[in-house]
Amino acid sequence: MTNSIAIVTGCSSGIGLATAKMLAQNDFTVYACSRDPSAAINLQNLITHENLTNIHPTQLNVDNDESVKNTIKQIIENEEKLDVLVNNAGYGVIGKIEDLPVNEYSKQFQTDLFGPLRMIRAVLPQMKKQNSGRIINISSIAGQIGFPLTSPYICSKFALEGLSESLRHELYETNIITTIIEPGVVKTKFNQNMKFPQEYSSDENKAEAIKLKEQCEKIFDRTEISGIDVANVVLESLTTPNPRIRYQVGIEADELLKKKKQLSDEDFEGIVHKFFQDIMNIP
């Protein structure tokens, strides 16, 4: 993959930033996308202080058709090829279903599902022309396991996994490979960037949403998994001729998803329910 051209979305922080750095350090030319590159200070610092001149900060909003189309067109014109797309941009919402209007689900899908879909549709013609390419979709354990109080995020990641499976079938006879990455908890700005309902149907629901955010803060503080760990897995999957369909990152992601395969739906639901209660009771 030396001298390969990669596009990574959501590079202003966290997993996207770490992935851009990791790929650049391994000789990829990286178009590191964020909504406002001038505000992506950590990305700018990386380029200046680590002399990673093969990172190109790029303005792109995955929610916007024109932004995606124009940016990808420009990159293909510059490079005349395109090897890797990492669909990473995303965010989460905390709240109960009765407190989240359908509009919140639409917004979540715009970024976490239609964002990757727009990106995939924009890069596919070039990848098909080359008959080569890698598409990495950053999903989550939330792409296979439903948790309470985060249903827009869960729905979008389940749908991203479905999209990835369909895409793999459609590209089965080609050299374009789609890979799904499923991290557990990763120390990034994700929790800080969580969105909340505008209004709550009860004080109990509000208290529960606020409590979950506080409890998540403790988990995010304690985790030893960082964006670099996810970036390592991205790199590993890209540098393997026959990557797996799915890669989990972090022990809890690995263990929970193994249990999902081993147990009945009913038994597994009990495990997830207890897992959530334990989170809400972390001292």
Residues annotated as catalytic (active site), given as ranges: 153
Shortest Cβ 266–ligand NAP spacing (Å): 26
- Scored b (16 or more CB within 10 A) or e, 23-46 reads bbebebbbbbbbbebeebebbeeb
Specify the amino acid at residue 236.
E
Structure tokens at 9: 């979305």
7 half-sphere exposure, CB direction, 13 A CA radius? 31
Euclidean distance between CA atoms 283 and 274, whole angstroms: 16
Shortest Cβ 152–ligand NAP spacing (Å): 11
The reply on whether position 71 binds ligand NAP by CB under 6 A is: no
- Letters for 201-240 (x = contact with ligand NAP by CB under 6 A, - = none) are --------------------------x-------------
Tell me which of 81, 107, 128, 189 binds ligand NAP, using CB under 6 A: 189
Structure tokens at 256: 């929970």
Cβ distance to ligand NAP smaller for residue 4 or 188: 188
Cβ distance to ligand NAP smaller for residue 33 or 209: 33
The reply on whether position 19 binds ligand NAP by CB under 6 A is: no
How many other C-beta atoms are found inside a 10 Å radius of the C-beta of residue 279?
16
- Letters for 147-186 (x = contact with ligand NAP by CB under 6 A, - = none) are ------------------------------------x-xx
Stated as kind and residue range, the H or E segment containing 269 is: helix 265-280
Instruction: Work out the burial of residue 177: count CB atoms within 10 Å of its CB; fewer than 13 is exposed, 13-18 middle, 19 or more buried.
Output: buried
| Residue in the structure block whose two tokens are 């964002």 | 115
Q: With CB under 6 A as the contact rule, which of the stretches 49-57, 87-95, 97-105, 237-245 interacts with ligand NAP?
A: 87-95
Stated as kind and residue range, the H or E segment containing 220 is: helix 203-222
Tell me which of 42, 91, 165, 272 binds ligand NAP, using CB under 6 A: 91
The reply on whether position 45 binds ligand NAP by CB under 6 A is: no
* End-to-end CA, the chain: 46
In the complex, the residues that contact ligand NAP under the rule CB under 6 A are 9-16, 34-35, 61-63, 88-91, 111, 138, 140, 183, 185-186, 188-190, 193, 227
